[in-house]
Amino acid sequence: MFQSLVILLIFLTVMMVVSVIIASKRVVKNRKSVVHLIWMAVFTTVCYTVFILIPPRNPGLASFAAGVYFLSTDWLVVYLMLFAADYTEVKPLSRVPRFIVGLLAGVDSISFVVNTFTHHMFTVEVASADKLGIEYWDVQLKSPHIVHRVFVYAIVLYSLVILLYKLIKVPAIYKNKYSSILCQTLSVVGLNVLCSAVDAKFDYSVILYASLAISICYLALYASPKKLLERINSTIVEDSVIGLFAYDNSGRCVGANQAVRELFAGEGDIYEIAEKYRARWEEEFKDNSSNLVGDERTIVVNGEKQYIYVSYQRFLDKKGRNLGCCFQIENRTVVVKKFKEEQFRATHDMLTGLLNRNTFEEEVRRILSEAKEPYYMICSNIQDFKLVNELFGSKVGDKLLIAQAKMISRSASDHSVSARIYADKFSTLLPKRCFVETDFIENMKQIIDMGLTGSFKLHFYIGVYDIVDVNEPVWTMYDKAIMAIDSIRGNYEQSISYYKEELLQHIMEEKEVLNEFDQAIEEKQFHMFLQPQIANNGNVVGAEALVRWIHPQKGMVSPGIFIPTLEKAGLIHKLDLYMWESAAKKLEEWKKEGKEKYSLSVNISTKDFVYIDVCDAFRTLAQKYDFDVKNLKLEITESALAENVRELMTALDGLHELGYDIEIDDFGSGYSSLGMLKDINADILKIDMIFLRETKNVQRSTTILKNIISMSKELGMPVITEGVETKEQVDFLMDVGCDMFQGFYFAKPMSLENFEQAYG
Ligand code: C2E
Ligand code: CA
Ligand code: CA
């Protein structure tokens, strides 16, 4: 019996030492208080074991050992209390009570040590248990020992109270932890009380100290409630954003979490849905030998496409038998849609929904690399789109662009691609068989009819390039279609133009003109040539000033080449200002020389009114040079009058006020202009012979000419006819009462020197 007790105590001590060494290495909460408590339990157990092992002939030593054992119980309960406070997180003692407890334990400890000599707390004597045939130390307690008991029980009671308090407060799954420690502590106390009540030979409660310490070590540092884990696991699964269908080994759905229920909400019974998708997906994943496989899928839920990632997981036992499986469904719809939206944004024009410039290039390359039929590159552009935005606002501008996008992509097929390249420039690559010119024109008309009110005339241009070499750079093809447009820009009669090789030549020439223009003005390469104007009595009365570009390399360049280019580029006013000034200067010179008999007619381009204040320019000339304004006649083409009558009339009034005479140039060559004469305050009518030359019905033309002249007579306007080449023409014009003539019949345009020599 005695030996078994000693062996048991040694065994428990070893167990405690092992557990405290292992526990010291764990990084967990409460470790410190647990480790302290166990070391204290080790100390107490060792003390007790040593005490009972002391041989009977050493009562002094036994008394000392018993004293140390008693004092160790003081500290054991103190550490039990500290552990309980730490473990329950109930902070029971502030510094002062803590100090008092420590002080009491200290005093008690000293008292036990002193007891070796004073024997005031207890005495030890050898006793023998006859039946067992052993001798043991019998401890005779004295009354002061009661103080130690009270102290120890009070501290244990306090520890039990806070453990109980915690036990009541914590959720059910944690109650085990506390109740187990509580019960064990109670049993230790119970046994201790029992041992002293029956005056047992040994304090058997020491055995329970050790087991309590080991159990505390396990509960506090290792044990976590299984239910908690289950609860956490199931909560994670239930609340997961990844949907989950779980199936048993027969394929029956045994669970569906919140995420799948949300995904399939409104689609019917979730278990039926689970069954439907298992039947579909299991088959697809079956061939894969891995236990966990996944793939992208799209499904339709409530009529809407959903992008999901499905993983399939098989559960097998150790022998490889099927336990069940699950599908994890990650709903990626939002992310995929966002990605697609961003992709769309990066590749498309957001206003019209057509492709953007870069993507167009890639697509054209792709289509042409697989092309089995001939293609057109088609471009469209609105005349003066900037003006539309300014006049009608950008909302109308946007509407127009959207309509234009629809127009250009209307003939689209699988093998075509359309894009908004820049601003109002659109382009489409279309198989030739899909291009019907009349359809395009019809579509354009519909947009025009969509209606922009006021005097603004909406006009579209379409440029078509017939792709000969599919390997040509895409932007070269596009440029060629734009060149086709540029060749008809400003021409309201034409909407569609096809690229021809000559266009390139023409455009190169235009570029050259524009590149050289500024330098040519500076270097005075432009010269004023004069073509005489003859009155019906045969006298030269004046001349028309016509510009000639005497190019250092090309020689004389006729205005037909560079004037339209300068007009298109908005530069003609620079040249005209130069010509007008040359004419004014010459008139001043003639005046000074007393040769005031000739007038000079200068040309005013329609575009001059757009870029400069024409009135102001002529006012300045009249101030700067000394000449008779009646001698500087201003030629304005009839087509200019047709375009913007009101603005022009104001300008003409201004010029009249300055005293200048206005000639209507090219009368009869273009628009029906008779009606206009009543509104326009012009002084001289200049009839173009061209319309006489080009007609098949000469009789009709001569009748018209005759009437124009007689009408202008009635209006009091002198008439000059230009382009007169033959004597017959002169005779006829004389007959019908024409006042003046200009034409090769009399003289070609000539240099100033030649003019002055001939007529000076
Ligand atoms: P325009 O104002 O109608 O000028 C008359 C054109 O008819 C001149 O051509 C002249 O050489 C040509 N011409 C004169 N008599 C005859 C004839 O009997 N038969 C034929 N076939 N032609 C005749 P040019 O000098 O080549 O000028 C062409 C056009 O260039 C002018 O037509 C005018 O619109 C423009 N232009 C010329 N100089 C200037 C200028 O300084 N400023 C502006 N804005 N335009 C100018
Ligand atoms: Ca003229
Ligand atoms: Ca003319």
> Does 424 sit in the ligand 1 pocket, CB within 6 Å?
no
What one-character DSSP code corresponds to residue 348?
A: B
Expressed in angstroms and rounded, the spacing between residue 531 Cα and the centre of ligand 1 is 9
**Both tokens assigned to 217:** 């070590």
CA within 13 Å, CB half, 28: 19
pLDDT value at 482 more than 90: yes
Expressed in angstroms and rounded, the spacing between residue 513 Cα and the centre of ligand 3 is 23
> Does 583 sit in the ligand 1 pocket, CB within 6 Å?
no
Residues 6 or more apart whose Cβ sits within 8 Å of residue 204: 5, 191, 195
Expressed in angstroms and rounded, the spacing between residue 560 Cα and the centre of ligand 3 is 12
Expressed in angstroms and rounded, the spacing between residue 546 Cα and the centre of ligand 1 is 6
> Does 664 sit in the ligand 1 pocket, CB within 6 Å?
no
Nearest CA to ligand 1 atom 34: 603
pLDDT, average across residues 469-490? 91
Whole-number pLDDT of residue 29:
78
CATH number for the domain running over 510-759: 3.20.20.450
Expressed in angstroms and rounded, the spacing between residue 715 Cα and the centre of ligand 1 is 26
Expressed in angstroms and rounded, the spacing between residue 644 Cα and the centre of ligand 1 is 23
CB 259 within 8 A of CB 242: yes
Residue type, 143: S
Residues of the chain with CATH 3.30.450.20: 240-336
Whole-number pLDDT of residue 58:
86
Nearest CA to ligand 1 atom 24: 559
Tokens 């007529």 locate to 759
> Does 638 sit in the ligand 1 pocket, CB within 6 Å?
no
Angle between helices 205-221 and 172-197 (to 10 degrees): 170
Q: How confident is the model at residue 92 (pLDDT cuts 50, 70, 90)?
A: low
Expressed in angstroms and rounded, the spacing between residue 760 Cα and the centre of ligand 1 is 23
Tokens 């036992």 locate to 317
> Does 532 sit in the ligand 1 pocket, CB within 6 Å?
no
Whole-number pLDDT of residue 51:
92
- Which of 195-204, 217-226, 607-616, 661-670 reaches the highest mean pLDDT? 607-616
**Both tokens assigned to 409:** 């992509």
> Does 743 sit in the ligand 1 pocket, CB within 6 Å?
yes
Q: In testing the pocket of ligand 1, which one of 528, 531, 546, 666 has its CB within 8 Å of the most ligand atoms?
A: 546
Which position has the higher pLDDT, 320 or 621?
621
How many whole angstroms separate alpha carbon 756 and alpha carbon 328? 101
> Does 605 sit in the ligand 1 pocket, CB within 6 Å?
yes
> Does 547 sit in the ligand 1 pocket, CB within 6 Å?
yes
pLDDT, average across residues 497-513? 89
pLDDT, average across residues 97-109? 91
pLDDT value at 222 more than 80: no
pLDDT value at 426 more than 90: yes
Whole-number pLDDT of residue 351:
92
> Quick one: which ligand is closest to 666's CA?
3
Q: What are phi and psi of 460, to 5 degrees?
A: -105, 150
Residue type, 665: D
Expressed in angstroms and rounded, the spacing between residue 641 Cα and the centre of ligand 3 is 14
pLDDT, average across residues 581-593? 96
To which CATH superfamily is domain 348-499 assigned? Reverse transcriptase/Diguanylate cyclase domain (3.30.70.270)
Residues of the chain with CATH 3.30.70.270: 348-499
Is residue 742 classed as helix, strand or coil in its secondary structure?
Answer: strand
How many whole angstroms separate alpha carbon 52 and alpha carbon 49? 5
Tokens 């008139």 locate to 587
pLDDT tens column, 698-739: 788 888 888 889 888 888 899 999 999 999 999 999 999 999
Whole-number pLDDT of residue 694:
64
Give the other-Cβ count within 10 Å of 97's Cβ: 11
Express as a percent the part of the chain with pLDDT over 90: 50
Lowest mean pLDDT among 218-232, 420-434, 518-532, 653-667: 218-232
pLDDT value at 671 more than 60: no
* DSSP one-letter string for 200-249: -SS-THHHHHHHHHHHHHHHHHT---HHHHHHHHHHHHHH-SSEEEEEET
Lowest mean pLDDT among 178-187, 581-590, 626-635: 178-187
pLDDT value at 279 more than 50: yes
Lowest mean pLDDT among 301-315, 379-393, 466-480, 637-651: 637-651
Nearest CA to ligand 1 atom 23: 723
pLDDT value at 672 more than 50: no
Whole-number pLDDT of residue 670:
61
pLDDT value at 584 more than 70: yes
Residues with Cβ–ion distance below 5 A, ligand 2:
603, 635, 665
How many whole angstroms separate alpha carbon 513 and alpha carbon 208? 113
> Quick one: which ligand is closest to 547's CA?
1
**Both tokens assigned to 279:** 């039947």
- Which of 330-334, 492-496, 671-675 reaches the highest mean pLDDT? 330-334
* Closest approach atom of ligand 1 to CA 635: 2
How much is the mean pLDDT over the chain? 88
- The three-point CA angle 189-193-194 to 5° equals 115
Domain 240-336 has CATH 3.30.565.10: no
> Quick one: which ligand is closest to 533's CA?
1
Burial label for 100, CB within 10 Å (0-12, 13-18, 19+), is: exposed
> Does 546 sit in the ligand 1 pocket, CB within 6 Å?
yes
Expressed in angstroms and rounded, the spacing between residue 758 Cα and the centre of ligand 2 is 22
> Quick one: which ligand is closest to 667's CA?
3
b/e burial code for range 388-415 (CB count within 10 A of at least 16 → b):
bbeebeeeebebbbbbbbbbbbebeeeb
pLDDT, average across residues 435-459? 77
* Closest approach atom of ligand 1 to CA 604: 44
Expressed in angstroms and rounded, the spacing between residue 195 Cα and the centre of ligand 3 is 140
pLDDT value at 131 more than 70: no
Whole-number pLDDT of residue 659:
95
pLDDT tens column, 385-418: 888 888 888 888 898 899 888 888 877 777 899 9
Expressed in angstroms and rounded, the spacing between residue 544 Cα and the centre of ligand 2 is 7
Which position has the higher pLDDT, 108 or 2?
108
Nearest CA to ligand 1 atom 8: 546
Q: In testing the pocket of ligand 1, which one of 521, 567, 603 has its CB within 8 Å of the most ligand atoms?
A: 603
> Does 559 sit in the ligand 1 pocket, CB within 6 Å?
yes
How many whole angstroms separate alpha carbon 685 and alpha carbon 675? 14
Q: Rg (Cα) of the chain, in Å, rounded?
A: 57
Residues of the chain with CATH 3.20.20.450: 510-759
pLDDT, average across residues 435-454? 78
How many whole angstroms separate alpha carbon 689 and alpha carbon 86? 118
Whole-number pLDDT of residue 674:
65
Sign of CA dihedral 581, 587, 589, 591: negative
> Quick one: which ligand is closest to 563's CA?
1
pLDDT, average across residues 83-94? 80
Residues of the chain with CATH 1.20.1070.10: 2-232
* Closest approach atom of ligand 1 to CA 724: 18
pLDDT, average across residues 210-221? 83
Expressed in angstroms and rounded, the spacing between residue 547 Cα and the centre of ligand 3 is 13
> Does 614 sit in the ligand 1 pocket, CB within 6 Å?
no
Residue type, 462: I
* Closest approach atom of ligand 1 to CA 579: 41
* Closest approach atom of ligand 1 to CA 546: 38
Expressed in angstroms and rounded, the spacing between residue 636 Cα and the centre of ligand 1 is 12
How many whole angstroms separate alpha carbon 233 and alpha carbon 43? 42
Express as a percent the part of the chain with pLDDT over 70: 94
What one-character DSSP code corresponds to residue 355?
A: B
> Does 722 sit in the ligand 1 pocket, CB within 6 Å?
yes
Expressed in angstroms and rounded, the spacing between residue 287 Cα and the centre of ligand 2 is 89
pLDDT value at 289 more than 80: no
CB 447 within 8 A of CB 404: yes
Fold of 2-232: Rhopdopsin 7-helix transmembrane proteins (1.20.1070)
Q: How confident is the model at residue 640 (pLDDT cuts 50, 70, 90)?
A: low
